Structure 1
């Protein structure tokens, strides 16, 4: 086994070599003593190390220093990004190069960047196995002061259906505290959708250290998966996977695991659960284990990619939305049924389609085609086919392309535009549509006519910059006209202040216009799909839940209009 004294000798030899180079140089011709970071390609083994903490940043493999011990944050051959393993917003997975094995074995010695003694060191051995793919999880020192290595097999084979993905749950939870300051979320866990409903019996009540649940197959798409304890409490995710994320979730409320952020806003009333796209052919593990949340160690979950995900060049997703009053409608995509007998004020699940020209038809109960449209759909597109009644009283289909990427653009000018966008993986994002022929133009505002663009205290911000907006997204929307320039309004997830959304009758000369008091306000609580997810475990119901939404003005106005057909703002949620 590799010992600490060899680590110290390596450290001393490296410093001596660099000092020698420095002393032999002169003022005119400086010697560059920085350690090179070549982007070398190595044949990878079937084994990986997974670590979610900064506990063991320096790595020695069979006596070879593979990290950059002298100049941290400058790349090394095996860690070209920063020269060390792990760290905040760094990839937690290290695929072990095949060449590091000697006679099928690697003796690892790992330590902190600055050696503070044996309390920060870890010794373990990895045996080569070419028949299976193995992950070696490092569990940090907890109550007994010692670290653990947990080895588990993973699958790299894609799902049996090419437009699906595979996912499993790996439960490595531990008790992290003897007191009551940090809530205990250890024990069996269940994979759930955003509304708290269980995904599958195979991923329900997964016990600790059982090697992981079986992989299940689901249609590719955008999901906000959650992990629940046996009594239904939510376990926090961690944004360590997202290297271009909102950088907001750095700590949690220890008593509830709800999110706290850099903004100092306190508890958000929401438990952090990132919204991610799961690609066709992808294989994923949601692992839950002890990890760092700022100064707190708590069990949290992270998505781990288990295979090399193929590029999606073949599939898109389409759903039907019925805002057409008066009849049941069946929807067809390229001649195949998407949804039968869809009632007004309802929408279908998504159907995966091949890329290219996509024809959507709306058919009455008699089979008559009452509306149709054709659009070119690229790979990865998310499309809603909205059926509504236009100003001529005729049923019409509009194809609306939704953006579920979480990418917001900022007003920063730079040479390469690197800082001109930011990815947020848990926003409240919504866009507006006017699909009521009774309103020639409408504008949408917050409470008391305040602008969603300039007076919104919940706008996403990052390092002092807010995201790009356009007035056409909220002002003077005409029936059937789809805003396309910066159409989304983005909110932080950390607000605890309720708000309402108002509709105004407006025109080019009057913004926001006259309040349409015949249209009920849309309360922020309308973004909460299942209040019992919180109340049944004694938690305050949040102001809103995050996700991607369309808010459409639908229906009619007038004293003789039936209650079910009266104008209202209708919510359609696009992630699950």
Structure 2
């Protein structure tokens, strides 16, 4: 990325507007850009416009946005609504063109710009009911006269998944040809594993076919093939880059990548494009290629399916622990590891665990609700019999604070990490029956502090096999932090005594215990933990020559 990019008139105008907008929003809870257009009495066509900026539009010579130019006295986010954009009068995000604008051929002329006398693009859209299209503004491969990027038309599918438990997803690469990620790109899971051959090796201004994968919570990565580098995700807030060309968080080589639950029946696009106003280096605004998630088909509210996984903290045999769910055996899970998730229909399910000889050692009934993400932990009791507990995982990371969780006290008390930052969202559990109380700390016994996404009691005086009381600790997580986190120590504590005595035979965790990507993606060495939803658990016995240890389970892919 060259600093000369900032000399373009187009970029200069965008930078001023965006930075002013960020400054005006910094104290608000909802800082994500965009507003939902009002489609009442305006039937939607299949033509969808998408922008990663705040843009003004003219459709068939009719102004549909307010074309208001911000001033110091009247900042950009003051509402000047129009019938088509009743929230703020500005187009941001996506907008389905109302059918009233299409002529007999299904065509309309769109003009976009940043000021009344500064039209940056003019193009024609074409509706085809059987072949819907998206028009991404300012996403051409190269800039035209005056540094202006123009529209890219991309076909879109509305076909839902064949398997109702699945989602459909694809990768669209419409980034700057000369920007970061100028080669081919591949879609990967959080650990760097390619999602599919079909979504790998996508050239500039090309897109993959849609593929089906099971629904779940994913933290997709977009890899720059053959380079060991990644395309950064689009953060919710203006983010500092480490250098003009290093967009990792704090220079850690860990890139922003939003964590999202993709619900069954949904259809999604991971799009790579130039996205202004989200990264800066010192006082210089940057315009890198970033990726974002675009929903092509909204899924219905998930009241049908939930997900369940097993963690084996009990059976140390080579074969591991096997469970049956409603009579169906799942693959064995070896000691200290988590099994794959199983998708189940909401309702009651009978769990039966067997030993290496096939003998039943415990049975348990579990009730699963639609949207649940549950982990079934098997662990030893004091008498070496098996214990089993079900722990729900908060995969969205949303924290509610205040007197009334529903906001009935007038407080805007819901905090969504998608609107703030990525988290190393970590729950702590004690499965050592010989230690009645365990406290987890940062380096040198420093207690974790309370924060927006950290509840200090979530790591204190934990009893064997029990999660903290949801009444006392409604948000049972600590954000370890991408840049600063990863160091965890275990202490034997007592009621009223914190943290207690260090368990010196329990190795401390480091940031590398929270890194799942291969070393090849950390060219200059990794300096931070990867974001995600984790559980840190103390497992094993603490008697004689036996010593427990901490394990790290990452619940998202």
Q: Under TM normalisation by the shorter chain, which class is it?
A: 0.7 to 0.9
1:62 matches 2:60: yes
SS in 1 for 2:488: strand
2: CA distance between counterparts of 1:366 and 1:221?
A: 33
Distance 1:138 1:44, change over 3 A: same
1:337 matches 2:322: no
Residues 450-486 of structure 1: CA distance to partner in whole angstroms, max 9, x if unpaired?
Answer: 11135xxxx5xxxxxx346252x22221111122322
Structure 2 unpaired stretches of 5+:
1-36, 70-77, 280-284
Deviation at 1:499, TM superposition (A): 5.3
| 1:172-211 alignment runs, 5 A limit | 172-176=174-178, 184-210=180-206
Deviation at 1:157, TM superposition (A): 1.2
1:84 matches 2:57: no
Deviation at 1:125, TM superposition (A): 0.9
RMSD: 2.3
> Which of 519, 523, 532 is the aligned partner of 1:532?
519
2: CA distance between counterparts of 1:238 and 1:382?
A: 26
CA contact (8 A) 2:321 2:334 kept: yes
1: CA distance between counterparts of 2:134 and 2:39?
A: 24
| 1:495-514 alignment runs, 5 A limit | 495=483, 497=484, 500-514=487-501
Q: Which moved more, 1:431-440 or 1:497-506?
A: 497-506
Distance 1:543 1:38, change over 3 A: closer
Task: Determine the structure 2 residue equivalent to 1:150.
Answer: 152
Distance 1:70 1:543, change over 3 A: closer
Deviation at 1:209, TM superposition (A): 2.2
2: CA distance between counterparts of 1:187 and 1:305?
A: 25
Task: Determine the structure 1 residue equivalent to 2:416.
Answer: 423
> Which of 381, 388, 408 is the aligned partner of 1:390?
381
1: CA distance between counterparts of 2:85 and 2:480?
A: 36
1: CA distance between counterparts of 2:229 and 2:410?
A: 41
2: CA distance between counterparts of 1:468 and 1:132?
A: 46
| 1:120-135 alignment runs, 5 A limit | 120-135=119-134
Residues 438-461 of structure 1: CA distance to partner in whole angstroms, max 9, x if unpaired?
Answer: 21211111112111135xxxx5xx
TM-score relative to the length of structure 1: 0.80
CA contact (8 A) 2:439 2:459 kept: yes
CA contact (8 A) 2:486 2:513 kept: no
SS in 1 for 2:258: coil
CA contact (8 A) 2:269 2:293 kept: yes
Deviation at 1:407, TM superposition (A): 0.8
Task: Determine the structure 1 residue equivalent to 2:455.
Answer: 469
1:352 matches 2:309: no
CA contact (8 A) 2:481 2:529 kept: no
Distance 1:530 1:130, change over 3 A: closer
SS in 2 for 1:448: helix
Runs of 4+ in 1 over 6 A off after TM superposition: none
1: CA distance between counterparts of 2:364 and 2:456?
A: 27
Residues 289-323 of structure 1: CA distance to partner in whole angstroms, max 9, x if unpaired?
Answer: 11113411111111111113222110000001100
1: CA distance between counterparts of 2:270 and 2:127?
A: 25
CA contact (8 A) 1:193 1:225 kept: yes
Q: Which moved more, 1:400-409 or 1:546-555?
A: 400-409
1: CA distance between counterparts of 2:339 and 2:533?
A: 16
Distance 1:377 1:206, change over 3 A: same
Structure 1 unpaired stretches of 5+:
1-36, 87-91, 178-183, 240-246, 261-265, 460-465
Task: Determine the structure 2 residue equivalent to 1:48.
Answer: 48
Deviation at 1:560, TM superposition (A): 3.2
Deviation at 1:385, TM superposition (A): 0.7
Task: Determine the structure 2 residue equivalent to 1:10.
Answer: none
1:490 matches 2:479: yes
SS in 1 for 2:331: strand
> Which of 516, 519, 528 is the aligned partner of 1:543?
528
1:553 matches 2:545: no
CA contact (8 A) 1:171 1:208 kept: yes
SS in 2 for 1:500: coil
SS in 2 for 1:347: coil
CA contact (8 A) 1:169 1:213 kept: yes
| 1:126-525 alignment runs, 5 A limit | 126-140=125-139, 143-144=143-144, 145-176=147-178, 184-210=180-206, 212-231=207-226, 232-239=228-235, 247-253=236-242, 255-259=244-248, 266-292=250-276, 293-294=278-279, 295-327=285-317, 328-340=320-332, 342-410=333-401, 419-425=412-418, 426-454=422-450, 459=451, 466-467=452-453, 469=455, 471=457, 473-483=458-468, 484=470, 485=473, 486-493=475-482, 495=483, 497=484, 500-525=487-512
Deviation at 1:61, TM superposition (A): 1.0
Distance 1:397 1:83, change over 3 A: same
1: CA distance between counterparts of 2:107 and 2:143?
A: 30
CA contact (8 A) 1:433 1:550 kept: yes
2: CA distance between counterparts of 1:197 and 1:418?
A: 42
Distance 1:467 1:526, change over 3 A: closer
